[in-house]
Structure 1
């Protein structure tokens, strides 16, 4: 029988069906740039990139916002972005549109709206004017002098903007950008700190994440302990009891950044964390919590092609739909009535007929198939084959020592699960207790997992991971890695073949140039080497969207090796190794090439009644040439000539018989 995956593709064109609608909670991403427009943010200094040009922190922050929007137009065209400025005296509109309900000294420059090229170009024009005239930003957004707006009011304005403009099922984030480490230095600052923390908790409880980007310079350091360490939360999911226990909850890895690193950090955090499923986690009978699953490794691809209809004054996206048409009647078929079956190969019908008596006597759930026919199944039956009748979820079966998890057990990309408090109340506490206990006892969990309705069930290992912050700033979250165990037929024994082993002299010469070409400075940075084909495609799309001229010669492929520096550093060592390799007697040995034997094609069977029905309806032309030749060969007729000749011979045979 054909491999299971060859015909078991019922839901290829369907959207992944999950247990509930929570999958759509993070389908779209909303980013609100909350930028400080105070006097210090507008203070001019020499641009380190362009000679003779003055810039400011506000100009850099707006440039970063534009860069993120230009990138997201390609990677997330359905996402939304807005820009809110605070510590400015410019008044918001009061015409009843979005932004009418804002606190004093806050201004909504760009309301929350889907990404579009004209809105981004509007900000780009403002930035161009600011580069020509450094005072342009201070005139456009007059700074608030002598005082600062309370941060509680800033968070409240963010809440109102997101409430009025962001879709309810989107992931919402606020990028807070400021250079002021103590916005409330005067009397009553403690009350203002409590107010800011309270309003921030309100934001978190409605699903909003705060991503801070604090700016410091060599002359002015940023001390997060003065104010923000007592206000900002470590994550979206923080219990009130935990907040009361720990007051210094601001992770140091995001508390301070230099102005030249602002854009790099934004690029790192602009990608939303989209959950690929939300399912229950059954710890015992009647004891269930909720978890969300995240993919750790995802291939970045080009966007899907779209068709557009030219309506004269505008271009509209064409909506595409898939229809199934019966080949014989040429009528549309309801997808629910389509049956699925596997290619049984030659002799399958006879085998099924031989087993008919056994099936009739109460075989194991098999259906009787007549000779020459194939078994067919409905879409619902095939789903049951995949899921074994299980509902989506993770069922904890037991625990094992961590040392029993072998390296070869990891045959697929692992997933990462995190508690989902929205599905089951108390999930975070229970999840955290289980995680801490397993880390303490150095255990892993064994679970039966079905992540989606149209997926296959599998046994998985739950590997706990403690929260960790390294010196480089990378922060590992606390949670479980879900590692799928292989089935028995997934493990193959590799053939053991012995070859020539390099001599000790060759090994030393090779290590000499390898040591010179090692990646230094903290290891390989994958963000610094984008896919050249994808980057070239995106740059062309971006230029087309913003009506800019694109010079293909300006594209730089960062994956190309720097041959000159490499030879300068290790050229002499590579030459010495190559000379020694050519003089080595084993290097001239040629391994004989092995070719696989071609498998003989299996004889295929066909139903004469089907061809007879097409002959009667006059639709023999719908048959393929190979099908016509197969029929003629079986009848001892010639198979030469064009398709029309073959059809004529088939018709003559049916006329005679």
Structure 2
């Protein structure tokens, strides 16, 4: 039985269920790359990295798919990936037993959805290497449709639906990465009917649990205009009701990406590589008998190394060892049913003459508790959910209140009808009145209730498109002992001239647009570890010197851009009066004591505390353990002189005072 201070640690396995990473890894991720192979996608262009080499949009899309698969072999080995090409005249082989024969005409399944494997990825690598040697390799393998003909997008979405239906597990997170550079695939007569057909088939695809994430390639000679076709086809944002959507309004597109530079395709895909899985789905009680549904998402999650596995050598193959946790009674050496285990305080060794394995329980006391009782102690009997307590002004939410990572909540129309409209109305009203909400909630089972602040965030759109979503930041409010004041003895404030000198070089080094892209700077230690595993998986040589640490600062660029400004700032700090006085006081404090002098003992303690300590030593017969500096103030407080007295005399005087 665990002792009293470990009551919250019911079981290690149950504790793991509370971690975000285990929840995120609970489902497989399925990605189907749907790549346009039209004439414009296969048109040869100069490679921006090497003008002597030719490339094309289709090659870059396939290369991005290959890079994503190579990375998933390490970070998500249980995920499934497939590649579907459309606008090509290549047909599936009649001997093929894959789902390639069940898709629409002019669509070709190059890589059926299946588990990640090195042979499949190496086959794709060989195709890309062959294109580097012969730029017409892709065009000969996947001939494009000619004379401006194109596959109806409705047929493309239907093919995606069939491919995912046949190859993806029902409980998986399913996504389609649509890559194309054609903003109007159906111009001319019949375009309206084709648009309606495309939207209908896309709705069928999303109702099957599939999310479409488009990657639109835009170039200076051929800019991509979403208003021509895709603004009428792609589904709106979750906070916008379909009845209120203007089909001609491109601002409602769900995270549509217009890629101005084709070499940024892989970077944009990495942003969307991890699926957006909800951490929790709970009811939100706004008032009595008035509840809506919300889903919560984590904004910050630390990526860690994958858990190691044990393998058993069967000679011809290696099998993963299945692990199982068993609880054993040490006394009987028998397996114990986990459901029958009880928890309580440690019993100690027992009284003299008693069996150390037993203890006496007084009548009316309850020494043991079940696992359900312990969960009740932790959750205070509350079920998962949020309860609105009230509202406060936005100014009352301080920066220091955010001591933990916040979550982001969206409405969940599937659990309560009308959640989207109510959530949107509450959000707009709070943002307009500059209010925050206070709520009491339990986000997941077996977690402690917390007080939360709900900070509204309206949708923000910039020139590049839709960026920040509309929703609430769920900020856990700290308890009193979560906030501690800093032990600052003395500080110095910079003058305005020093601040201006610092702003000059800080502004030069600030991130563009005020947004820091964390996916562009991976953890170097984790990236180095994954690069070695990837080389081992594909039988490649790994050269540590070729590894690039993207988080390392570019010192040469920093010196060129702000070298003079930093020097000017350092001179301003050196001449600042506050800094000079602070450094002088610091040097005086750190100055070593003079040789031959004794450090004066601290005798400024409270007299009551001193007398208590002296009486304690007297009762123990250890007055001689006290120093002269400890005894002198006590004797002086009693009106006796200590001039010229030795330690033995002081001890005798203390004994006389305490015995009289």
TM range (shorter): 0.7 to 0.9
Q: Determine the structure 1 residue equivalent to 2:157.
A: 155
Instruction: Quote the Cα distance in structure 1 between the aligned partners of 2:505 and 2:537.
Output: 44
Name the SS for the 1:522 alignment partner.
Answer: helix
Name the SS for the 1:88 alignment partner.
Answer: coil
- Where structure 2 has 5 or more consecutive residues not aligned to the other structure, the ranges are 353-361, 593-660
Bigger shift: residues 154-163 or 245-254: 245-254
Q: Determine the structure 2 residue equivalent to 1:120.
A: 121
Bigger shift: residues 209-218 or 120-129: 209-218
Q: Determine the structure 1 residue equivalent to 2:132.
A: 131
Cα pair 1:77 1:115 within 8 Å, conserved: yes
**1:563 Cα offset (Å):** 4.0
Instruction: Quote the Cα distance in structure 1 between the aligned partners of 2:446 and 2:525.
Output: 33
Instruction: Quote the Cα distance in structure 2 between the aligned partners of 1:240 and 1:518.
Output: 43
Q: Determine the structure 2 residue equivalent to 1:588.
A: 587
Q: Determine the structure 2 residue equivalent to 1:550.
A: 542
Instruction: Quote the Cα distance in structure 1 between the aligned partners of 2:299 and 2:347.
Output: 38
Q: Determine the structure 1 residue equivalent to 2:207.
A: 205
Q: Determine the structure 2 residue equivalent to 1:261.
A: 264
**1:5 Cα offset (Å):** 6.6
When residues 525 and 5 of structure 1 are mapped into structure 2, their CA distance, relative to the original with a 3 A threshold, is farther
| Pair 1:52 & 2:32 matched | no
| Pair 1:232 & 2:234 matched | yes
Instruction: Quote the Cα distance in structure 2 between the aligned partners of 1:425 and 1:167.
Output: 28
Cα pair 2:232 2:247 within 8 Å, conserved: no
How many residue pairs match? The answer is: 570
Q: Determine the structure 1 residue equivalent to 2:616.
A: none
Name the SS for the 1:13 alignment partner.
Answer: helix
When residues 410 and 190 of structure 1 are mapped into structure 2, their CA distance, relative to the original with a 3 A threshold, is same
**1:37 Cα offset (Å):** 0.6
When residues 323 and 575 of structure 1 are mapped into structure 2, their CA distance, relative to the original with a 3 A threshold, is same
Instruction: Quote the Cα distance in structure 2 between the aligned partners of 1:505 and 1:441.
Output: 35
Instruction: Quote the Cα distance in structure 2 between the aligned partners of 1:431 and 1:108.
Output: 41
**1:512 Cα offset (Å):** 8.0
Q: Determine the structure 1 residue equivalent to 2:365.
A: 368
Instruction: Quote the Cα distance in structure 2 between the aligned partners of 1:172 and 1:377.
Output: 43
Instruction: Quote the Cα distance in structure 1 between the aligned partners of 2:496 and 2:426.
Output: 53
Match of 1:518 among 509, 514, 519: 509
Alpha-carbon displacement from aligned partner over 1:428-447 (angstroms, at most 9, x marks no partner):
22322322232233332222
When residues 348 and 379 of structure 1 are mapped into structure 2, their CA distance, relative to the original with a 3 A threshold, is farther
Q: Determine the structure 2 residue equivalent to 1:632.
A: none
Cα pair 1:7 1:340 within 8 Å, conserved: yes
> Greater CA radius of gyration, 1 or 2?
2
When residues 177 and 515 of structure 1 are mapped into structure 2, their CA distance, relative to the original with a 3 A threshold, is closer
The two structures, once aligned, show a CA RMSD in angstroms of 3.5
Alpha-carbon displacement from aligned partner over 1:417-459 (angstroms, at most 9, x marks no partner):
1122232333222322322232233332222211111111122
Name the SS for the 2:502 alignment partner.
Answer: helix
**1:128 Cα offset (Å):** 0.9
Bigger shift: residues 283-292 or 266-275: 283-292
Match of 1:541 among 529, 533, 546: 533
**1:474 Cα offset (Å):** 6.5
Bigger shift: residues 29-38 or 274-283: 274-283
Instruction: Quote the Cα distance in structure 1 between the aligned partners of 2:553 and 2:45.
Output: 37
- Where structure 1 has 5 or more consecutive residues not aligned to the other structure, the ranges are 350-358, 361-366, 370-374, 594-657
When residues 70 and 407 of structure 1 are mapped into structure 2, their CA distance, relative to the original with a 3 A threshold, is same
Structure 2-normalised TM-score?
Answer: 0.78
Cα pair 1:16 1:454 within 8 Å, conserved: no
Instruction: Quote the Cα distance in structure 1 between the aligned partners of 2:402 and 2:408.
Output: 14
Name the SS for the 1:119 alignment partner.
Answer: helix
**1:101 Cα offset (Å):** 1.8
Name the SS for the 1:41 alignment partner.
Answer: helix
Instruction: Quote the Cα distance in structure 1 between the aligned partners of 2:505 and 2:189.
Output: 62
Instruction: Quote the Cα distance in structure 2 between the aligned partners of 1:224 and 1:43.
Output: 22
Name the SS for the 1:261 alignment partner.
Answer: helix
Cα pair 1:253 1:469 within 8 Å, conserved: no
Alpha-carbon displacement from aligned partner over 1:549-586 (angstroms, at most 9, x marks no partner):
10011112233344444455247447747976899534
| Pair 1:301 & 2:298 matched | no
Alpha-carbon displacement from aligned partner over 1:165-215 (angstroms, at most 9, x marks no partner):
122112221111111121112321121112112211222222222211111
